[in-house]
Amino acid sequence: MSAKAVSKSSKPGASKEPSAVTKLYLFAYNAGQVVGWSYILWQLVNYYILQGPEFRAQVTLWEYTRLAVIIFQNAAFVEILNASFGLVKSNPVVTGFQVFSRMMVVVGVVMATPTGKVSPGLPIALLAWAITEIIRYGYYALNIVKVVPHFVVFLRYTTFIVLYPIGVTGELLCFWWAQSYARENSVWSVVMPNKWNATFSYFGFLWIVMLGYIPIFPQLYLHMFAQRRKILGGGASSSPQKKAK
């Protein structure tokens, strides 16, 4: 979920137009994320296309992209605060689930295990994330200034059809590579006995999160199709000012 422009409504009792300071903040946040994810996309292109095998033999993809990914992916935590303080119309609980799922991949999987860093799912996930976020944050930034070209609206509500499944595939591959390491090593786990009298299995936690994709992803995916019908289907809710999620 991203920081969303709040559209002015003509209905009585609707929330008032956000202040100029709020708009400036939201625009800066979304525009900054566009710049950040564009840089990550450029890094992917440079790593796999512009550079030769000698370069890739010296540095892994994670070593090359980690700083930008850590900064701009974890910066999405701000969106939970934006929703919680009413700066955007997002549900803070739903936003929290969506933000923490990505943060879990970056912090709880890739950063936490050596196998996650070299998973074939990492470039897949980063590519899908980068393209998705450039379009999504760009849409929100333009929506704030009420200048949203139709092609941007079309991309926002069409590219997810392919990019969401690709991204989820990459994420799950990262989890799979991480759980193989966690199974053979007691990393990030707490075993009895200890002063807290509690136990925690990182290996089991990874599997719980992975299995959680089964009921959650279809709901989010179908929700985006419903939004696509509203925005692009010519219905009463076809205004590009409608929020995406």
For residue range 116-154, list pLDDT tens digits in order: 999 999 999 999 999 999 999 999 999 999 999 999 999
For the segment 10-20, what is each residue's pLDDT rounded down to a tens digit? 444 445 778 89
Q: What is the pLDDT of residue 87?
A: 87
What percent of the chain is predicted at pLDDT more than 70?
89
The C-alpha angle 37, 165, 143, rounded to 5 degrees, equals 45
List of residues 6+ apart from 34 with CB closer than 8 A: 133, 134, 137, 138, 141
Q: What is the pLDDT of residue 196?
A: 83
Task: Verify whether residue 79 is a known catalytic residue.
Answer: no
Question: Helix or strand or coil: residue 194?
Answer: coil
Q: What is the pLDDT of residue 123?
A: 98
Distance of CA 219 to the CA centre of its chain: 16
C-alpha Rg value of the chain to the nearest Å: 20
Which of 171, 181, 213, 221 is labelled catalytic? 171
Query: Average pLDDT of 185-212?
Result: 88
Q: Are 33 and 72 in contact (CB under 8 A)?
A: yes
Q: Per mean pLDDT, which of 86-100, 122-136, 206-220 is the most reliable?
A: 122-136
Instruction: Assess whether pLDDT exceeds 50 at residue 95.
Output: yes
Which residues are paired to 200 by β-bridges?
190
For the segment 28-82, what is each residue's pLDDT rounded down to a tens digit? 999 999 999 999 999 999 999 999 999 999 999 999 999 999 999 999 999 999 9
Query: Average pLDDT of 186-211?
Result: 88
Q: What band does 187 get if pLDDT is binned at 50, 70 and 90?
A: confident
Q: What is the pLDDT of residue 15?
A: 56
Which of 25, 39, 164, 221 is labelled catalytic? 164
Model confidence pTM above 0.75: yes
Q: CA 108 to CA 99: how far, in whole Å? A: 13
